[in-house]
Every structure is written in C-alpha cells, then in structure tokens.
A and B are shown apart, each in its own frame.
Chain A
Amino acid sequence: MAKNIRSYMPLSETAYYILLSLNQPRHGYGIIKYVEQLTDGRITLGSGTIYTTLGKMSKAKFITVFLDRERKTIYELTSEGKQLLRLEIERIKTVYKDTLYQERLFDEESKM
C-alpha cells in the first residue's frame, strides 16, 4: 500500500489543504470555510473543486463518507489518508527547509 500512496504525491495545493483540514470530520462546505480561515482568505476553494477532489479521494480510499444526524454527508480521513498526509507533511517540511537555506544564499549573493 505504501507504494500506492507515493504515486499520489505530490498533492496539488487544493488536495493538500483539503486533507489538512480534515483533522476532524467536516462537511463539504465546512472544509471550504476552514481552509479560508486557515489561509487567511488566500485560498477560497470552489465548490466544484471540492466536490471533484473529495470524490477522487474517497474513490482512492483516503477519505471516508458518513452521515450526521441531519443526514448530511461528512468526510473523515481513513488510516491511509492519514498516512498520505503524514508523508506529504514531511515532504513539504523538507521543501520549506531547502527553501529557507537557498533563500539565504540568494540574499547573501545580492548583498555582495
């Protein structure tokens, strides 16, 4: 399964933020609102994007679907989804570290 997960990486920014927002079960619209809040309004996910991405993710078994008391669909990460998110977080951390390092080099060069 681990090999399978890697084939989904790297995730698109949209997909990454959707997975990231699922630290608790949420509705589709709840995800949109939460991502907007998390990114200070930088990312406003379109409802079509949310719908297609969630569909793809649940087909790949990264998220699961159930209903709440009002029979509204809510989404939650599966164990595979959590695994994928962990791997992706690690990858982005390295990207971030490399970016900081290179940024410093660029800054020093421009000073000289």
Chain B
Amino acid sequence: MKKVKCRPFWSYDILKTQEWLTKQGEKGYQVVSFNPIFRSFSFKKDNPTSKRYIVIYDKGQNDSPAFASNLVEYDKIAHTRNYSIFVQKVEKPEYFPSYDQLLSRNQKIKYVTGIILLMQFILFILPVSMILLSALIGGGISVEYEPGGITAPLTTQALLEGILEILFLFMSMFAQVWLIYSYLKLRMSNKKLEKLCGEDIDLSFTVPTSTIMNKASLQQLKKEKKLVRKMKIGWFYSPDKHVQWLEAMESKGYHLVRMSRIGNSFYFIKGIPRHMKYHVDYQSKKNPTYFQVNEESGWKLFFTSITRYFAISVWGQEYKDIAPQYYSDQEDKVKHAKKFMLSYIVWMLPMSVMYFVIFGISIYGFIQIQFFRDISWLVITPIIFLLTGLEFLYFSFRLIRYYNRVKAS
C-alpha cells in the first residue's frame, strides 16, 4: 500500500519535517522516495518503527552526501540532487549530520525575502503617508469621480481584461502572503538550526563576568580609578595599527577587559605589564567552528560584531616567549587583508564619488538659482555632501594603506 503526502514548505523547517517523517514511521508508513518539485513524499505501509529519519542538504553533491559515505550508522533511503533522506540505524550514533549548509541556504533566502519585503513596505508607506499627511495637515482630500460608469456595452475583450486583472490581483496577493509566510517561517526555523549548529552566539561575553560582575562593580572600579576607558572611532580602518596600540597598552600594564557592544570603547584595568598578541579578524560568516578553533587555540574573544556577515572580531592571547600567529601562512595574511579592504572600498569609493557628484550639482544649483542664494544658510548642504565624500575617501585610503603594509610585511 502506498501513500503520497505533500508538504509544501518542508525544507524551511527540516527539523519539523524530520520529526514528521519519524512520526509517519511510527504510524507504520515508511518513506521510500520524495519529489522535490512537487514537494511530496511517498510512503509504504510497513511495520511501525521508532526509527529516526534525518534529511541532509548537500548542494551539488551528485552522489550521496559525503557525510554518510563512511558511516555505518545511517542508511540512505532517498536521494535527489541536493537532498538526501537517511534513517538512523543505531539508537545513539557517534556522529551527527551538520546543518551548516542548510542553515546558510535558509539564511540567504531569509535575507532576500526580507529585503524584498522591506522595499515593498517602503514603497507602500510612502504614498500612504503622503495621503495621510495631506488629509491631516493639508486641507483634506477631495476625490474626483466621473459619473457615468460603463457606457459602452460589455464586450468580450473588456470582460477578459477584467478577469485578467482580478487574476493578477489574486496572484500578487498570493505572492505577498507567500513572501511573508516564508520570512516568518524561516526566522523561526533558522533560530532552531542556529542553536543546533552552535551559532547562537551569546554576546554577553563582552562583559567578562570574571572581572566585572555587574554594573555596580563597574562603577566601583571606575571610582577607584582602576578602570580606564578609551574611545576610538573608526579604528578598524587600520586594524594593524590598532593592534599595535592594544599591545603597547598591555606592555604598559593596561589589560584590555572588555569592549563596548558597538566596539568604539575599550576598557582597561591597570595591572602588571604582560605580553599579549592581538588580532583583528574580518570574517564574513560566523560559523561555530570559527569560535571553537580559535578558543581552543588559546585566543580570547574581546569583541565581535552583531552582524553575521561582514563581521569584525577582536582576538587576544597572552604569551611568554614566542608570539602566537593567527595566520601562520603569509599568503593567508595577505588574502585576509585584501578581503577586508575590498569588501569596504567596493562600496565606499562609489559612495564617495556619488557624494562628490551631488556636491557638484548642489553647489552649481546654489550659484545658478537665485532662490537658494537668498537663503544663505542653505550652503551647509553642499558642505555636508563634500565632507561625507571626503570621509569615505579617507576611510578607503586608510584601508588601502593597511593592505599595502600587510603585503610589504
């Protein structure tokens, strides 16, 4: 006996799908195959079992995923281009699949749908707010309506157009609901996956509980002048110089204890001078291994950006004789600096050019148009544009200098 069941959003919550497959197995329906296009699973009536099913996403792995090739703990049930279904053979397996790939796929989908929704929201809110504003502040709205209605007799063409219009309306509504549903669903299931992958990083470490217990003790330390706070803005545009500064502070006996959440303030506690190696790392994606490997190698995390992509982290390690190397390979060091520099200047340089162009246009307008010249304080606008452009140019320049220094080292 066969049974086919459809599960439209099965890949958006793999963990739930796995549970569902296991439950079907308990009812006596064992999955035999699945169709990713129709999002349907086929079951075969069999003896009820309590076997656990798992679904693995492994993109572009034409054969079965490498995960199971060496393992005897799992049996492959079904397999398509990117997905495979396995059944767990033993009660407590030694190894588990990693949901890394699936998580990064779902995160990408979430980001894209989120951006689309945000853009739609802005496009929607603009006219609505304009109408509302004119209704509230202005003299109200007057709607012009031409009476008459349908004058010509209803033709087939008009009827067809009408039907098409209604169809379009339904389709766009459906797309909207689909987008919102996808976004919300992914938001929920990604959180579960992040937890499973160990990616739900607790950012409370920026307040080291071993040295600073709470706000009161922080105040106390400040009062006793044991705690030194230094502010720095835009330090990550020359990370190597900043690292030197931190190391110099340590050799003077100022131990870095924490950084603020945005990363612009540094808290030091006066102690004995020590050797400390720092590294400012730029990694576009956070992965549990990242923190595991670094921490096991003795690096202590002082700061990490809240964003998952384009994240900057500050690592430090105390040493005796030989300074530890974060990148043991010179090539890696240069590549890291290059990635760091490029990912900023690709948008900073165009932005600076854009601001210079806007500056040019506005200064031209200021000179040409009498109206602007009459209100002289308006000259501030082109000056702000100029300063913003110069700022982006300066940051890009600093990053390029940083890259050149790393390359030459």
A binds B: yes
> Measuring CB to CB, which residues of chain A are less than 8 angstroms from any residue of chain B?
12-14, 25, 27-29, 32, 43-55, 61, 64-69, 71-74, 76, 78-79
A66 to B69, CA, bound (A): 12
Q: A68–B297 contact, CB under 8 A?
A: no
- Interchain CB contact under 8 A, A47 and B332: no
The 10 closest A-B pairs by CB, nearest first: A64-B66, A29-B296, A28-B293, A46-B328, A78-B66, A47-B297, A67-B96, A48-B326, A46-B325, A65-B98
A78 touches B69 (CB 8 A): yes
B residues near A76, Cβ cutoff 8 Å: 66, 70
B67 on the A face (CB < 8 A): yes
A-B contact pairs, 18 of them (CB 8 A): A13-B329, A25-B95, A27-B293, A29-B292, A43-B328, A48-B332, A49-B329, A49-B332, A51-B289, A52-B332, A52-B335, A61-B60, A64-B65, A64-B66, A65-B67, A66-B95, A67-B97, A78-B69
Distance to closest chain B CB from A103 (angstroms): 27
CB distance from B298 to the nearest CB of A (A): 8
> In angstroms, how far is the closest chain B Cβ from the Cβ of A45?
5
Taking a contact as CB atoms under 8 Å apart, the answer to whether B95 and A50 are in contact is no
In the assembled complex, which residues on chain A have CB atoms less than 8 Å from the CB atom of B283?
Answer: 51
Residues of B within 8 A of A72 (CB): 292
Instruction: Classify the interface of chain B: helix, strand, loop or mixed.
Output: mixed
What residue in chain A is nearest B61 (Cβ atoms)? Answer: A61
Q: Is the CB of A71 within 8 A of B96?
A: yes
Least Cβ distance of B72 to chain A in Å? 14
The residues of A that contact B61 with a CB separation of less than 8 Å are: 61
Is the pair A27, B65 in contact by a Cβ cutoff of 8 Å?
Answer: no
A46 to chain B, nearest CB (A): 4
Interface residues on B, range: 35 or more
| Cα–Cα, bound, A43→B113 (Å) | 45
Distance in Å: Cβ of B349 to nearest Cβ of chain A: 26
Determine if B65 and A52 form an interchain contact, defined as CB atoms under 8 angstroms apart: no
Chain B CB count within 10 A is highest, among A12, A73, A74, for: A73
Q: A51 to B294, Cβ gap below 8 A?
A: yes
Give the chain B neighbours of A43 by CB distance below 8 A. 328
CA gap between A20 and B283 in the complex, in Å? 26
Check B98–A48 contact: CB distance below 8 A.
no
Find residues 321-379 in chain B having any chain A CB closer than 8 Å to their own CB: 324-329, 331-332, 335-336
Q: Is the CB of B326 within 8 A of A68?
A: no
CA distance A49 to B97 in the complex (A): 24
Not counting A47-B293, A47-B326, a sample of 10 additional A-B residue pairs whose C-beta atoms are within 8 angstroms of each other reads: A29-B292, A48-B327, A50-B293, A61-B66, A65-B67, A65-B98, A66-B97, A68-B94, A73-B288, A73-B292
B66 to chain A, nearest CB (A): 4
Q: Which of A25, A48, A64 has the most CB of B within 10 A?
A: A48
Take A65-B98, A71-B198, A76-B70 as given contacts and tell me if A44 and B292 are in contact as well, using a CB distance cutoff of 8 Å. Answer: no
B175 within 8 A of A: no
**Is B287 positioned at the interface, with any CB of A under 8 Å from its CB?**
yes
Residues 42-63 of B, flagged 1 when their CB comes within 8 A of A and 0 if not, give: 0000000000000000001100
Is there an interface contact between B326 and A46, defined as CB atoms closer than 8 Å? yes
Q: Is B115 in the interface zone, CB < 8 Å from A? A: no
Kindly state the separation between the CA atoms of A25 and B94 in the bound complex, as whole angstroms. Answer: 12
- In the assembled complex, the CB of B119 is this many whole angstroms from the nearest CB of chain A, namely 30
Report B-chain residues with C-beta under 8 Å of the C-beta of A32.
293, 297
Find chain A residues with CB under 8 A from B97 CB: 66-67
Chain A residues whose CB sits within 8 angstroms of the CB of B324 once the complex forms = 44, 46
Question: Which of A27, A43, A67 has the most B CB atoms < 10 Å from its CB?
Answer: A67
Task: Please give, as numbers and ranges, the residues of chain B lying within 8 Å of A79 by CB-CB distance.
Answer: 66, 69
Task: Compute how far the CA of A54 lies from the CA of B287 in the bound complex, rounded to whole angstroms.
Answer: 12
Q: What residues of B have a CB within 8 angstroms of the CB of A67 in the complex?
A: 95-98
Interface bits B92-121 vs A (CB < 8 Å: 1, else 0): 001111101000000000000000000000
Q: Which residue of A lies closest to B299 (CB)?
A: A47
On chain B, the residues within 8 Å of A73 by CB distance are 98, 100, 288-289, 292
The smallest C-beta distance from B97 to any residue of chain A, in angstroms, reads 6
Question: Taking the nearest CB of chain B, how far is it from the CB of A20, in angstroms?
Answer: 16
Bitwise, B270-302 to A at CB < 8 A (1) or not (0) is 000000000101010001111011101101000
